[in-house]
Chains A and B, each alone.
Chain A
């Protein structure tokens, strides 16, 4: 399986030096540059329509992602992907999020889905199909009978309109931890019910749906026939994959948050130099400078990317907490720098605030993430698990 291993997420834990890594990452960096251009040229102009989950716009943006292989970038080129590593993917996602955080999330979820499913299965999926990973963590409802997982129901970003979903469970609900870490469900399976989330706060480029998946029924069915394909399980070694997949989602959330924060800072800085109040550009007022200064501090103080493998899990969680809190603070301040104008949808600043609040809750709220962090450190399970 070409999943992003813990070593990949941990960065230079294999002992390579920075220069070697840079050379190795050149294709990834090129992709990040491309992502930056796509964000500017394709996503930013469409952000308003993405914000209302306009299906046509989402479809058009998704085609652009697929054209450059970003939908399954972690897969090898022979498998239709871009063959980049997880760190490169995170850089790409951050760039995309500067344009639209929802589309960036859709790319993250697709990549997690594609690395989570078996290679053979991934190879059969037509190009352009949008799959989405569904983290089944805190807040998801699991129906378990006699130790068997019967149904999953949860609210999931990107689930509306996706061709298929890959449920990622952080820990198996029964005794056997390796049993049920990844579950795939094609969109057409009758065991999957989806209901569009009507009141999506942000990240609308990845339209959310309430998802209910009858695992038990799907398993019965998949035993006799794989078409429609559903309910396939990943067994054995699932725990490692599960750790990585969840952490990839957390680090992806952090990357999206950084993109949001960068955009917020950029808009606020530009506006503060144009807008005049009190006879001067508002950037001259300490009240505004304080906010802009704090945004810069949060941007500059990004965590080191290279960490020891053993700390990969804790790092992913800590990074997600810090980056999403920072994004919310910066986006909120950006609205404030804009004054009343920032509260109006057309400026796109308040969207950043809604996107930031939404990513802060993905894949779980930060207070729950912090619990998981302690769990990783102290080897004690979080109270909710």
Chain B
């Protein structure tokens, strides 16, 4: 039956506020937090409208012709809106955002261009392991990132987990134990030598710093999986290739080659051997923003096709078709539910995995210490000591539990898989409405459709995400998501710094504390290979 609505009623409505978009979340969040979020969203939208949407197709085309193409101008524009620092703790000079903030920014950016959004998303992923490092990370690279943003010389980060032989396998500790891991961080005096290949790393070819995970003992990857902060200017580091992708092309995906790259012991993020647990928490935190990426793609496609139909012109015959109205209504419905899924997951992970730790008196007290004092050698020595690393873990374990994080990870995975499917359905349906009509919106929709497919793959395939949902929600399992209270349960778990603290390193003043520990590691494994 033809509908009788007028053009005016179909015209693009003004953007709803966050309170309208997330009624239940908003009621709980409180008005000041909501105002903060709304301001952040406004900045993201300004960047998206002024810099991303208009250039999206052109950048996509250029990156298709040359996958190494990268537009630093965009990064500078995003930096001027604080998009590189909003996740960095306030103590390090950043915006102090968490998963909720990341999700809200990502939806906004992705509605304009998911590829451009991924530059900022991959940067945020690169930062995430540092956030888990607690106060020990505030005054290092995080502070540098803030300073470089302020100086309009922005630096990007990336996170490298995936390897050629292990994609799904490095996203789950049980699978990691069985995976074919080909990277290796070999303990050496003063630190580690990293060797191997990491694949599909977003921002990999443009990042200044990369958080990279690999085992210190490849025979025992799950227990020795360790996160390092890698300086991409290090000797032995190179970009083996930049991939030619189906979509999200504005952000390059690179293959990283590491040949005995030296990383000093103090650039171990968290404690050695805690990498698998850290990965679980990072994924719990990063999947809601990825769900928001997918939701943004869906809402971008929906708004474009809705507005095109409302505009009449070549779509005049569609406006009153009931089929079209039902399709638009389904899109609205799917996007609404997707939003609730990601905001639920983000809220949960903020409260459960990170929020408690951030509110812990010790962390708050450290936050009140002026940076100049905190950066004094005495204080910094303590904050970065193994004991402080143990204390960070202890705080986490006191403020949350394996079960709570497992549940949160499951909710995040649920949102990610669901929203990714919504992105595919909505972009597909939008293309069906436009068909082969020669209208500018078609090119944008085709791009969003290509972009959408990636959301079913990265941050763990949807299949893996649903396995996580089964474990955490259906089977009510508890995964060991938190690092153990004390390090050194396994010889390779012992950090050089921990060993130093226990006196091991003092035995050889020439090599220094970390090196002494490394020797211990070598001894424990029966000599250097």
Q: Tell whether, in the assembled complex, residue B453 and residue A279 are in contact, meaning their CB atoms are under 8 Å apart.
A: no
Query: Once bound together, how far apart are the Cα atoms of A201 and B2, in whole Å?
Result: 32
Chain A residues near B438 (CB-CB < 8 A): 153-155, 210
Complex CA distance for A342 and B438, rounded to whole angstroms: 29
Please give me the residue from chain A that is nearest to B162 by CB atom. A340
Q: Complex formed: what's the CA distance from A154 to B168 in Å?
A: 45
A344 within 8 A of B: yes
In this assembly, does B148 line the interface, its C-beta being within 8 Å of a C-beta of chain A? no
* Contact between B457 and A277, CB atoms less than 8 A apart: no
Asked if B436 is at the interface (CB within 8 A of a chain A CB), the reply is: yes
B243 contacts partner chain A, Cβ-Cβ < 8 Å: yes
Cβ A287 vs Cβ B457 within 8 A: no
Chain B residue numbers with a CB within 8 Å of A346 are: 244
Q: Is the CB of A343 within 8 A of B454?
A: yes
CB distance from B356 to the nearest CB of A (A): 33
B428 touches A276 (CB 8 A): no
* B57 in contact with A345 (CB, 8 Å): no
Beta-carbon nearest neighbor of A279 in chain B:
B178
Q: Which of A210, A328, A336, A367 contacts B456 (CB 8 A)?
A: A336
Are A354's CB and B450's CB within 8 A? yes
Q: Is there contact, CB below 8 Å, between B243 and A139?
A: no
Given A277-B169, A340-B457: A357 touches B431 (CB 8 Å cut-off): yes
CB <8 Å contact, A201 and B435 = no
| Complex: A155 Cα to B435 Cα, angstroms | 10
Residues of A within 8 A of B447 (CB): 199
B200 contacts across to A, CB distance below 8 A: 340
Nearest CB in chain A: distance from B269 CB, A: 24
Closest residue on chain B to residue A138 by CB atoms: B435
Contacts of B461 in A (CB 8 A): 287, 336, 339
Please, which residues of chain B bring their CB within 8 A of the CB of A340? 162, 167, 199-200, 457-458
CA distance A201 to B434 in the complex (A): 13
For the complex, give the distance between the alpha carbons of A112 and B220 in Å.
63
What distance in Å separates the Cβ of B388 from its nearest Cβ neighbour in chain A? 36
* 8 Å CB interface, B348-400 against A: none
Closest-CB distance, A230 to chain B (whole angstroms): 22
Min C-beta distance of A180 to chain B, whole Å? 20
**Chain A window 283-327, contacts with chain B (Cβ cutoff 8 Å), 1 for yes, 0 for no:** 001011000000000000000000000000000000000000000
CB contact between B428 and one of A141, A354, A357 (< 8 Å): that residue:
A357
Separation in Å of the B450 CB from the closest CB of chain A?
7
Could you tell me if B436 and A332 are in contact, using CB atoms closer than 8 angstroms? no
Alpha-carbon gap, A64 to B199, bound state (A): 39
Chain B nearest CB from A326 CB (Å) reads 14
The yes or no answer to B31 lying at the interface (CB within 8 A) is: no
Instruction: Give the residues in chain B near A384, CB-CB below 8 Å.
Output: 317, 321
**Most chain A C-beta atoms within 10 Å of own C-beta, residue among B61, B428, B438, B457:** B438
Contact, CB under 8 Å: B453 / A332: yes
Q: Which of A199, A279, A336 has the most CB of B within 10 A?
A: A199
A residues in contact with B489, CB < 8 Å: none
Is B337's beta carbon under 8 Å from chain A? Answer: no
Please tell me if B179 contacts chain A, counting CB pairs below 8 Å: yes
A213 at interface, CB cutoff 8 A: no
A:140-158 near B, CB below 8 Å? 141, 153-155
How far apart are the CA atoms of A346 and B436 in the complex, in Å?
Answer: 27
**Segment among A35-43, A241-249, A358-366 that sits at the interface with chain B:** A358-366
A160 to B242, CA, bound (A): 31
A361 near B435: Cβ-Cβ < 8 Å: yes
Instruction: Please tell me if A122 contacts chain B, counting CB pairs below 8 Å.
Output: no
Cβ contacts under 8 Å, A336 to chain B: 456-457, 461-463
The answer for the CA separation of A366 and B327 in the assembled complex, in Å, is: 14
Chain B residues whose CB sits within 8 angstroms of the CB of A141 once the complex forms: 314
| B contact set with A: CB distance below 8 Å | 2, 57, 61, 162, 165-169, 175, 178-180, 199-200, 243-247, 314, 317, 321, 323, 424, 428, 431-433, 435-438, 442-443, 446-447, 449-450, 453-454, 456-458, 461-463, 466-467
In the A-B complex, list the 9 residue pairs whose CB atoms are closest, starting with the nearest. Answer: A287-B463, A199-B443, A279-B178, A350-B246, A139-B437, A345-B244, A365-B435, A155-B438, A365-B432
Q: Known contacts A287-B461, A343-B457, A361-B436; can you find 15 more A-B pairs with CB under 8 A?
A: A138-B435, A199-B57, A201-B449, A201-B450, A277-B169, A336-B456, A336-B457, A340-B199, A340-B458, A353-B453, A364-B435, A365-B432, A365-B433, A383-B321, A384-B321
